[in-house]
Amino acid sequence: MSDLKGLRVVVAGAGAIGSVLALQLVRGGAEVVLADAAAPGGNASGVAAGMLAPLFETLLDAPSAALYPLLLRSRDAWPALMPSLALDRSGALLKAALPETAEALAARAAALGARAQVMDAAGARALAPGLVGEGSYLFTGEDWRLAPGGALNALHGAFEALGGVRLAANVLGLDGGLARFDAAAAWAADAVILATGPKAGEWRDAGIAPLTPIKGQILRFPGLGPATGPVVRGEGVYVAPSSGGLVVGATMEEGRSDLAIDPEAVDRLQAAAARLFPQLAAATAIASAGVRAATSDGAPVVGLTAQPGVLVARGARRNGWLLAPLIAEVVIGHLLGHAHDAAARAFDPARFG
């Protein structure tokens, strides 16, 4: 990435994608400003559970079904990207509705070249103490997890240690080699990269249409459960261990961009989680909400826009943390003029015309 030396780049949006991208750019020698008016972690990436789950996203989420090789490639980039970052590689368990469902999903995993095994309830409980319910489960070690708050802090710390500049401001435009902000003086810039949420804001002239917002509500149970272990997925819910207590999520409310907490949605999530772990039925939950951005086909849009010098890296839907390293790689490929691989083609904004 030495050809980036001296390139002046402004990255708009300090969530998972923008933060990883800013760090990789400054590592490559670019002069980088990372701009976001929100408080650190005050975005969908900070609210998220930090899933790095290529297999179950592929098997269970229809829009991700064709992306497994790219999801896996991006997951595998995380250890080298941040060697000091703790990644929970305990895997994930799925409670299957029927034994035949578990067998079918295991066969699909095998066809992808992935490791997954069917196990009974006793085997599942050995991996996830407190889990209830008989029947069949599917376990995979392919799916990992990180702690979003800690990851953002680590990314921002590494970025600033290398000379990166963070601004508490929104990026408004790129005009005449100057990036304009709403709450800071203009900076000289050769490129602006939009790694923001669903709104197009001031960037409609660049041909950047708003993406579909998807509101996600998530619950945290401080002090409950182990710090590490497999994520357990059930019908419409997951329960993830963390050092701060169990994390339960998440709603997928398409078309909603508000951050209001919906008590009924909270009750539904908690009830679904309690069907897996009864101790959660009467536990006190802390609810939060974030808004993801999504395209119509589930893959992000990463690449050039109609405005020279403006690139886009948005729309990762529920896979922002998982896809951040690969999205950064594609953006850097565009800046260096060699973004022609499978990821660049799959994420190309031009696929929508």
169 closest CA partner among 187, 178, 185, 181: 181
> Is residue 155's pLDDT more than 60?
yes
Q: What is the pLDDT of residues 118-138, one digit of tens each?
A: 999 999 999 999 999 889 999
139 membership: H or E segment, kind and range: strand 136-140
CATH 3.50.50.60 boundaries in the chain: 2-46+149-211+297-352
Q: What is the pLDDT of residues 13-29, one digit of tens each?
A: 999 999 999 999 999 99
Q: What is the pLDDT of residues 266-298, one digit of tens each?
A: 999 999 999 999 999 999 999 999 999 999 999
The CATH class that applies to domain 89-143+212-294 reads alpha beta
Contact 181, 10 (CB under 8 A): no
> Is residue 2's pLDDT more than 60?
no
Unique residue bearing structure tokens 């190309």:
348
pLDDT at position 1: 46
Mean pLDDT for 315-325 is 96
109 closest CA partner among 124, 98, 94: 94
> Is residue 200's pLDDT more than 70?
no
pLDDT at position 283: 96
Backbone angles phi, psi at 186, to 5 degrees: -65, 150
DSSP label at 165?
E
The length of the chain, given as a count of residues: 353
Q: What is the pLDDT of residues 86-111, one digit of tens each?
A: 999 999 999 998 889 999 999 999 99
How far is it, in rounded angstroms, from Cα 28 to Cα 92? Answer: 35
How far is it, in rounded angstroms, from Cα 190 to Cα 348? Answer: 21
Q: Which residues contact 219 (CB under 8 A, 6 or more apart)?
A: 247, 248, 249, 266, 269, 270, 273, 285, 286, 287
Put simply, whether the predicted model's pTM sits higher than 0.85 gets the answer yes
CA 47 distance to own-chain centroid: 10
Task: Tell me the percentage of the chain whose pLDDT exceeds 90.
Answer: 88
CATH 3.30.9.10 boundaries in the chain: 89-143+212-294
Q: What is the CATH code of the structural domain delimited by 2-46+149-211+297-352?
A: 3.50.50.60
pLDDT at position 203: 74
